[in-house]
Structure 1
Amino acid sequence: RADEALAGFDRALAMGAATAEIYGQRGNVLLRLGRDHEAVASYDRALSAKPDYAEALYNRGNALQRLGRFDDALASYDGVLAAAPRHPGALNNRGAALHCLGRFEDALASYETALAEKPDYVDALNNRANTLLRLRRFDEALVDYDRARALGAEAVDTLVNRGNALHGLGRHREALACYDSALAQRPDHAATLNNRGAALQELQRYDEALASYERAMQLEPGYAEAHYNDGACRLLLGDLDGGWKEFEWRWKTPAVADYNPPFARPRWQGDGDIGGKTLLLHPEFGFGDTLQFCRYAALAAERGARVVLQVQPALKSLLSGMPGVDVIARGEPLPDYDCHCPLLSLPMAFGTRLDTIPADVPYIEASAAMVRKWEARLGPRTAPRVGIVWSGNARQANDRNRSARLARLRPLLGIDARFVVLQTELRAEDRAVLSEHPEIAHFDGEIADFADTAGLVAAMDLVISVDTSVAHLAGAMGKPTWIMLAHVPDWRWLLGRDDCPWYPTARLFRQPSTGDWDSVARRVAREMTGFLQPANSAA
């Protein structure tokens, strides 16, 4: 009977009972009614009369949080904690505000203080788990979700998020069970259906994955992440026509929004004449995407366009050698242009199908100066040279699946070859393995950008890499490239084939089961002996 309570407080105020407590209680009623702006105004009146009124500060923070005013909410919770430093609710909600502000480590500290004061605080456990999930600390998140459930948490969201943690750990069957249990209670929840589709995709149940994405899209036709996942799944299956269209929804997903700055000119989608016009091509995600799809710049130039290719700064020196293309670095002033196109939208603009992928290599070459530099740095050729990359950027979303550890590749290291590390990021456990193998060449701090990497690649007889930018670079240079792939790889590597239509000189070595790098390494080692025999003879 909140409306009646509100009317009573309003009568009391009209009669002159304008106390901090009346305004505070009135704010609580407005908060229950969802009238958050009015609730904040009522709390402000209460606090003007009694600045240290902890209950009003706390509930004001809750109202501000619901309004998305997280900085102001944080200030309110800090006001509570100034008077009551161990207030569990203020500490928990302060953590939630910090999470929404992207201050995840600070959020964890706030939750941990709340839980130290109240160890069975289910909301704080759930919130801490959500922050750990955001930080990709999946093991720790799972512990908190399980503890919250043991304490009686029955919220469907807890079950879904537990599934997300299991999915992040590669425990896809268990994740699927969580999603199915959640859907039994809330069958029309689009986000759960989308996550369920992702788990089914990792289990190679592709038709079911597509059906789950489809159901999510039926429930929420504008659900960008479901469209995007559907597109990536179709591309993986080789349905390029359907995949490119759905893949365009990436621009509406939160993860891609930062890569989609506004442009002053219209986007070219392949349907207009670009002869005599200046076409700006711009990058989206990682270096590998740019290296793979910059091949389309030449096709645009063949249509008569002046092509300006914007790239990440670390790629500018290397790609400036592409003929018929003006290359600028992201962050440099843009020239005048008539239209633009994101690099990953070019395959759709050109109507690319499996049998029309532009695969003439090399379309990237190392400069003669870089080749000379690295040939001199490597010294005389006494054995075949094999460039190796076993891991990529640790911050990449799929790094847990696509990267290995050097120790898992020990079967390769006994082959008669000179191994050269082509990656620039080395993790502590990999440095320990390298210290056991001083014969493996690695050049800490000497690789300045991709022009250097290309010079090294040019000096190799073979490049062996997981799914990283170096694999794309070597493939684009037409170098024999062996790519070691996760059980369910990124969409561009397709399924069920050892060749790659994007890179004719590449061979694909696929995990037979999730995480099985050992089988991959043994197979690569067997194949290397025969492949390198001619180079060994020459050396």
Structure 2
Amino acid sequence: MASKKYPPPRPAVVAAVQLQAAGRLAEAEQALIAALREDQADFYALHQLGLICCDRKNFADAVLLLATAVERRPDSPEALCNLALALRGLDRLDEAVAACDAALALAPDHAAAHHNRGNALLDLDRPAEAAAAHERAVALDPTNAESLYGLGNALRELHRFDAAMACYETALTLAPGRADIRFNVALLNLLTGRLSEGFAGYAHRLEKPEFAELRGRFAAPAWAGEPVDGRTVLLHPEQGAGDVIQFVRYAPLLAARGARVICAVTAPLKPLIDSLAGPSIEVTVWDRTAPPAHDLHCPYLSLPHGFGTTLDTVPAAVPYLAAAPARVAAMADRIAAAVAAARSATPVAEGDGPADARRLRVGLVWAGNPAFANDRHRSIPLATLAPLLALSGIGFVSLQKDLREGDEALLQQYRVAQLGPDLADFAATAAAIECLDLVIAVDTAVAHLAGALGKPVWILLPFSPDWRWLTGRADSPWYPTARLFRQPALGDRGSVATALCAALAEVREKTRADASSI
């Protein structure tokens, strides 16, 4: 059956597309809107205006325009492919895959449709299918850096790290100016333990558009490892509290080189980081609009590069932060009261009564900020940890500030003491941690805090963890007191819970044995 014949685009639309190709998007947009006023069903105008909305990340309007274009020409694989792009921008991922499938039913060798399908599948946590889609896109268009980059991302999630790196490197030969690809090369180097190369490349993050404001904030140069004797170095945050806690360890090392160090931190961190303050180290609340006077500046995450850090030279002496003794004493009383209240609210289970020789006190954090991009992998439903909470002889203490649906009932059912409302800042959380025997946490700032305090901490990691936890090891070079529990497969939280139960039962029995021998 012959394909349907359509009239060519009108001259006004052709002129608008030429403006669009020249990067004059505002003019192109106005010309396309004018074309649609004359004919609301103009396929070309709908399609091109939808692409402009995609470029501007106005995905809601893009979906409306591109879906209308598809209604006008349901046999257009290009329109279906771009509709998938817009749908993915709205996290309507299943619909994006369906749009790509429809495009490929019309044009099986449509490289961009395979590529867009691969991106949507990866977002759906289907990395093997995503890799297959990107491999097909690369086979059809071997010089497309974007498809090679997508394939690298999928292979990384499959832990095929060498193959992923090969894709990234080939993509960079085709598009050497792509800071995002260079950034992912750095992340992969860090994840696989090549810290020197990784931290050098990690500087490419500052070339990304979201850091433009930060780049323009400072007149003084950024520190990159040069001598600092007699100079004032401003350390400042750029991302989360956990990053500051992890890398503020370098502040005393800078001071030891003769620098006057200003640690700028957010207000909730200041009472904690104050424990580093001294003759050469000042701690202040970060004000992006008016940084204190300085000779050099450095984001906390750039300190490892400045010091030339490798796996063998990670400054791992702990503790390097401390809780105020008065706050620890007050928190000990608060925890005792919270534990007593939790145990009195629900009947005590058999074998978990006062006859226990020694009750371990274990802090719990099972979820992070839900707005975090990777939270669906990082956080764990509290119900998954129910077998852990059911262990006898252990006093669990929730360090979770914000509860999710169903958490409150589970905490009451398993007699978990709740401290969240008492943790107004990180100094309060540090005081609570000092009163505990162990902290069990997902990858949040609390995990970093426990490690920085030198307290035993068990960190629960997704199958594809953040770069700082490396791969294939149960310890961390950054935190000597940490033990890592990794998902053996994507989304396999049950295995992590089982391993936790066995490990904690072992610690409980050892604690009881030690107590009975006294």
SS in 2 for 1:509: strand
Match for residue 294 of structure 2 among 337, 342, 350: 337
Cα shift at 1:404: 2.1
CA offsets 1:313-342 (integer angstroms, 9 cap, x no match): 332232123233222333252111001112
> In the alignment, does 2:101 pair up with 1:139?
no
Match runs of 1:52-63 below 5 Å: 63=20
Structure 1 residues 406, 132: CA separation in 2 closer, same or farther (over 3 Å shift)? farther
Q: What is residue 192 of structure 2 aligned with on the other side?
A: 237
Structure 1 residues 111, 357: CA separation in 2 closer, same or farther (over 3 Å shift)? same
Q: What is residue 298 of structure 1 aligned with on the other side?
A: 252
> In the alignment, does 2:275 pair up with 1:318?
no
Cα shift at 1:68: 2.9
Question: How far apart are the structure 1 equivalents of 2:375 and 2:22?
Answer: 33
Structure 1 residues 151, 78: CA separation in 2 closer, same or farther (over 3 Å shift)? same
Does the Cα contact within 8 Å between 2:16 and 2:28 map onto a contact in 1? Answer: no
The more displaced of 100-109 and 409-418 is: 100-109
Cα shift at 1:526: 0.5
Letter in 1 for 2:247: F
SS in 2 for 1:353: coil
Cα shift at 1:242: 2.1
Fraction of identical pairs, as percent: 42
Cα shift at 1:475: 0.7
Match runs of 1:230-309 below 5 Å: 230-254=185-209, 256-257=211-212, 260-270=215-225, 272-309=226-263
Match for residue 159 of structure 1 among 107, 114, 120: 114
Q: What is residue 403 of structure 2 aligned with on the other side?
A: 426
CA offsets 1:42-98 (integer angstroms, 9 cap, x no match): xxxxxxxxxxxxxxxxxxxxx4995232xx666666666777777776666555444
Match runs of 1:340-351 below 5 Å: 340-351=297-308
Q: What is residue 125 of structure 2 aligned with on the other side?
A: 170
Question: How far apart are the structure 2 equivalents of 1:444 and 1:431?
Answer: 12
Question: How far apart are the structure 2 equivalents of 1:275 and 1:511?
Answer: 45
CA offsets 1:210-269 (integer angstroms, 9 cap, x no match): 211221122222322222222221222222222222222222234555654431001111
Q: What is residue 8 of structure 1 aligned with on the other side?
A: none
Q: What is residue 169 of structure 2 aligned with on the other side?
A: 214
Cα shift at 1:109: 5.4
Letter in 2 for 1:422: L
Does the Cα contact within 8 Å between 1:479 and 1:505 map onto a contact in 2? Answer: yes
Cα shift at 1:512: 1.5
Structure 1 residues 150, 389: CA separation in 2 closer, same or farther (over 3 Å shift)? farther
Structure 1 residues 27, 137: CA separation in 2 closer, same or farther (over 3 Å shift)? closer
Structure 1 residues 65, 426: CA separation in 2 closer, same or farther (over 3 Å shift)? farther
Cα shift at 1:124: 5.6
SS in 2 for 1:465: strand
The more displaced of 75-84 and 353-362 is: 75-84
Structure 1 residues 75, 407: CA separation in 2 closer, same or farther (over 3 Å shift)? farther
Give TM-score scaled by structure 2 length.
0.83
Cα shift at 1:122: 5.4
Cα shift at 1:147: 3.5
Cα shift at 1:375: 2.7
> In the alignment, does 2:472 pair up with 1:516?
no
> In the alignment, does 2:431 pair up with 1:475?
no
The more displaced of 446-455 and 281-290 is: 446-455
Structure 1 residues 300, 182: CA separation in 2 closer, same or farther (over 3 Å shift)? same
Letter in 2 for 1:434: L
Match runs of 1:197-208 below 5 Å: 197-208=152-163
Structure 1 residues 114, 330: CA separation in 2 closer, same or farther (over 3 Å shift)? farther
Q: What is residue 464 of structure 2 aligned with on the other side?
A: 488
Does the Cα contact within 8 Å between 1:122 and 1:153 map onto a contact in 2? Answer: no
Match for residue 363 of structure 1 among 313, 317, 320: 320
Q: What is residue 432 of structure 2 aligned with on the other side?
A: 456
> In the alignment, does 2:68 pair up with 1:68?
no
Letter in 2 for 1:442: Q
Does the Cα contact within 8 Å between 2:234 and 2:297 map onto a contact in 1? Answer: yes
Cα shift at 1:472: 0.8
Does the Cα contact within 8 Å between 1:277 and 1:306 map onto a contact in 2? Answer: yes
Unaligned runs of 5+ in 1: 1-23, 37-62
Structure 1 residues 501, 29: CA separation in 2 closer, same or farther (over 3 Å shift)? closer
SS in 1 for 2:320: coil
CA offsets 1:438-490 (integer angstroms, 9 cap, x no match): 62233555433323322332222111112222111111111110011122322
Question: How far apart are the structure 1 equivalents of 2:56 and 2:221?
Answer: 33
Structure 1 residues 347, 516: CA separation in 2 closer, same or farther (over 3 Å shift)? same
Cα shift at 1:126: 3.7
Match for residue 193 of structure 1 among 136, 143, 148: 148
Cα shift at 1:110: 5.5
Q: What is residue 4 of structure 2 aligned with on the other side?
A: none
Structure 1 residues 444, 115: CA separation in 2 closer, same or farther (over 3 Å shift)? farther
Letter in 2 for 1:291: I
* Larger RCO of the pair (alpha carbons < 8 Å, separation 6+): 2
